[in-house]
Every structure is written in structure tokens, then in C-alpha cells.
């Protein structure tokens, strides 16, 4: 065999032997800030979202913001995955009309779904807001602000992928509620985190059937949105952002031994000048594998004028002993079986 042909053959053989590893690497890679295509090839539309695991299946619910939506409805999308990296769009789990005739223009933000193993129901909490009609000196008036209603909506479905139906809206424990977050503790108990504008950041336990917000655990007297909690090595870590609308700001964290507090002071999760690398927290997911436990920070990089192009910033957190740091966004791989997260170019 000629020397040149032989070296070409050897090169081809080398490439073929590398292929499975390369393909697997690609299939396991999370690329924060980039377009994240679902299995159908479309950028994932699950903004301000939350994730649950039911058996071996993860479900990611979020604000559906794709172009061309019917403006008579508000939508929550649902995606399914076994590895948290490759997602299949399962359709719009909620397609809702106005739940209250007192509402003018209205919105749904930050949907979160809990699965109740006893009732076998999927229970969705969401921030429902909008203008409200009020009677002033005998005259009906519509509020100017789109964030006056300040309630949670609860929708229920028998199936993870919906259809969900809104059954009620209310103010949890009588308090204003705007951004919400969800937390499921290691013992399975479910909590709602909500921003009560006059007072602060509240954490409250859901009732056994998840249909009510039953018991306040903490009121952290700090004004924070995008609330997220994780329980890691015996300590609770709570993250939240400041209130700057769609613009990013330095997100912060505090810790406590119990959900009832006392909570530590809040510290930056990333260098403050990066404004959380342009993102805002929505959730933390704990992946417990055979070799490691990884806590993933899920954040949104909002694009208010082109919402459908809003991106995601997911990174494995450096967490432990009361400290939590969000590393600089870069591509990384997740092995869902071992729980290991690896930066591609450490």
C-alpha cells in the first residue's frame, strides 16, 4: 500500500473510532447562552420555568413564548427528557383564557408543576397578574399597571403533559404574590416561594393535596424575585434576584439549617459586575448520581423585545459548607447516571 493511502486510511479509522465518544459528548453538552434546540429542532420555549422528575422522566414547564401565539390565550409549555440535556416538546400543557373577569390585560409567568403521588394529580402553580377593574367613586376604572392582581393560579391535570385546567386564583395566605418558585424537599414535601412586594420573600408549605398554600415557613424581609431553593448536605440555600424588571442584576444567596430560618445574610452568587452573567434565577435542580451530586443553577437570559429568543443559563454550581458560586458560563457535560458535571475546557 502506498504510504499516502495508508495514512489516509489510518486517519479515517481514527475518526471512526472517535465518533461514538464525540457524538455522546455532543449529546450530553449543555451550552449556556446559546440557542437550545429541542428534539424537533426548535429553540426551547420554557422560560421562567421549573422541572420535576417523575420516575425516570424529567418534565420542564415554562412560559411558552414562541412567535405567532393566539393572543386570546396564555400558554405553558411542557418538555420531557431522561437526561436533562435532550428535550422533546410535548406541547402546550396549559392554554388558558382569562381566569377572572375583573382582569384587564393579563399574563401568566413562571409556571411550576408539582406531582402529587397520593392524588396522582399534576398541580401547576403560576403567577397570574394583570390590570384590575376597580370601582372609584361610583366609576369603573382599570388600573394602569399590569402587575396589580398579584395572585397565584392553580391548574390541575391527570397527565404530566396536560391539558391543565385553571381551577382558581388566590393570594397565598392572603399575601400579594408575584414571582414564584418551587421547592421539593428530600422527604417529598412541597413548598412555594413567592415574592410579597410589601414584605419580602416568603416560603410556604403546600397542603397534602398541593391545592392550598397552607403554612408559612419563613418571611425573609428582602425584596427578591426568581426565588429558588436547594437542600444540599444538610443546609438550605435560597437564591433570588433584585427587582429590576427584565434587566439582569447580581443574584444573591442565603443559607439556613431549617426552612424556618434563621437565614444568613445574602451574598453574591457571581461577581456582581457580571449581573449574574446576564441571567436571572428560576430554579436549582439537584442531580444525585452514582458518583456525585450536582446542583444545577437554572437561569433565564431575558430578551424582553424578542421573548421567543430568550436564552438559558444552566451551570453546575460550586456549592458546599455554606458557600455557593455560579461559575462563568461555558459548555459542560452532564452524566445523568453518575451525576457528574464536567466543564469541557476547564
For ligand DGJ, the binding residues (CB under 6 A) are 48, 109-110, 179, 225-226, 245-246, 280
Closest separation in Å from C-beta 161 to ligand DGJ:
24
> Nearest-CA neighbor of 85 among 27, 41, 35, 23?
27
Rounded-to-integer distance, Cα 95 and Cα 162, Å: 10
User: Nearest residue to ligand DGJ, using CB?
Assistant: 245
Rounded-to-integer distance, Cα 332 and Cα 325, Å: 16
Rounded-to-integer distance, Cα 79 and Cα 59, Å: 6
Buried b (16+ CB within 10 A) or exposed e, 268-277: bbbeeeebbb
Closest separation in Å from C-beta 26 to ligand DGJ:
32
Nearer to ligand DGJ, 96 or 128 (CB): 128
Nearer to ligand DGJ, 312 or 332 (CB): 312
Closest separation in Å from C-beta 117 to ligand DGJ:
29
Rounded-to-integer distance, Cα 124 and Cα 111, Å: 7
Cβ proximity of 124 and 113 under 8 Å: yes
Closest separation in Å from C-beta 98 to ligand DGJ:
18
Cβ proximity of 126 and 152 under 8 Å: yes
Cell (9 digits) for 301: 437570559
Nearer to ligand DGJ, 80 or 301 (CB): 301
Nearer to ligand DGJ, 38 or 109 (CB): 109
Closest separation in Å from C-beta 236 to ligand DGJ:
21
Nearer to ligand DGJ, 28 or 129 (CB): 129
Burial bucket for residue 1 (CB in 10 Å: 0-12, 13-18, 19+): exposed
Nearer to ligand DGJ, 92 or 109 (CB): 109
Closest separation in Å from C-beta 225 to ligand DGJ:
4
Cβ proximity of 228 and 241 under 8 Å: no
Amino acid at each position: 500500500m502506498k504510504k499516502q493511502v495508508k495514512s489516509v486510511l489510518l486517519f479515517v479509522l481514527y475518526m471512526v473510532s472517535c465518533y461514538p465518544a464525540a457524538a455522546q459528548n455532543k449529546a450530553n453538552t449543555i451550552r449556556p447562552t446559546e440557542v437550545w434546540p429541542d428534539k424537533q429542532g426548535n429553540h426551547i420555549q420554557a422560560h421562567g420555568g421549573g422541572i420535576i422528575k417523575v420516575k425516570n422522566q424529567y418534565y420542564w414547564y415554562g412560559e411558552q413564548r414562541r412567535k405567532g401565539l393566539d393572543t386570546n390565550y396564555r400558554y405553558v409549555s411542557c418538555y420531557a427528557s431522561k437526561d436533562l440535556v435532550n428535550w422533546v416538546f410535548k406541547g402546550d400543557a396549559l392554554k388558558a383564557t382569562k381566569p377572572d373577569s375583573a382582569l384587564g390585560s393579563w399574563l401568566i409567568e413562571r409556571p411550576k408543576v408539582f406531582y402529587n403521588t397520593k392524588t396522582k394529580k399534576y398541580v401547576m402553580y403560576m403567577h397570574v397578574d394583570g390590570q384590575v377593574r376597580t370601582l372609584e367613586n361610583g366609576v369603573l376604572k382599570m388600573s394602569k399597571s399590569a402587575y396589580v392582581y398579584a395572585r397565584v393560579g392553580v391548574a390541575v391535570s391527570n397527565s404530566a403533559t396536560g391539558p391543565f385546567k385553571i381551577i382558581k386564583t388566590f393570594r397565598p395566605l392572603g399575601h400579594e404574590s408575584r414571582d414564584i418558585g418551587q421547592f421539593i424537599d428530600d422527604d417529598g414535601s412541597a413548598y412555594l416561594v413567592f415574592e410579597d412586594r410589601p414584605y419580602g420573600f416568603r416560603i410556604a408549605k403546600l397542603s397534602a393535596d398541593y391545592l392550598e398554600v397552607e403554612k408559612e415557613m419563613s418571611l425573609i424581609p428582602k425584596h427578591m424575585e426568581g426565588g429558588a431553593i436547594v437542600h444540599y448536605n444538610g443546609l438550605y440555600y435560597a437564591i433570588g434576584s433584585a427587582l429590576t424588571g427584565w434587566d439582569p442584576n447580581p443574584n444573591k444567596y442565603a443559607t439556613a439549617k431549617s426552612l424556618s430560618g434563621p437565614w444568613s445574610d445574602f451574598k453574591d452568587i457571581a461577581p456582581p459586575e457580571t449581573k449574574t452573567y446576564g441571567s436571572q434565577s428560576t430554579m436549582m435542580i439537584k442531580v444525585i448520581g452514582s458518583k456525585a451530586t450536582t446542583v444545577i443553577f437554572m437561569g433565564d437570559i431575558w430578551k424582553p423585545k424578542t421573548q421567543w429568543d430568550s436564552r438559558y443559563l444552566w451551570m453546575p454550581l460550586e456549592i458546599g459548607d455554606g458557600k455557593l458560586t455560579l461559575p462563568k458560563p461555558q459548555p459542560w457535560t452532564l452524566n445523568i447516571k453518575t451525576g457528574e458535571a464536567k466543564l469541557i475546557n476547564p
